[in-house]
Amino acid sequence: MGKYVPLKFLFNEELAEKMADSICKHDPTFSKRNFVSSVTCKVENLELKQRIEVIADELHNALQKDFNEAIHILLKTLGLENTTEVGTFTCMK
């Protein structure tokens, strides 16, 4: 079994970079450098919910201002649905 890492530490610079890379493929105006830098400096001493809030706020600041355009870009960054897994939400169908 691997080393335990608190969930909050997964919401970090590496996650911001992965998110930015994915967004940049669909939005050439998205500033990866600004997004990653801002997230990285703000999340360092925060707990999980605060880290998530920072990332959400920075996405809001960095994405297209038009809500429909921003959602369209974010939806493109999602991977394919994993139809082989069952969980809380898949059981509700």
Helix (H, G, I), strand (E, B) or coil at 13: helix
Output the DSSP codes for 30-79: --HHHHHHHHHHHHTT--HHHHHHHHHHHHHHHS-SSHHHHHHHHHHHS-
pLDDT at 92: 53
Cα separation of 6 and 42, whole Å? Answer: 18
Where exactly are the structural domains of the chain?
Answer: 7-78
User: Which pLDDT tens digits describe the chain residue by residue (93 residues)?
Assistant: 689 999 999 999 999 999 999 999 999 999 999 999 999 999 999 999 999 999 999 999 999 889 999 999 999 999 887 788 777 666 555
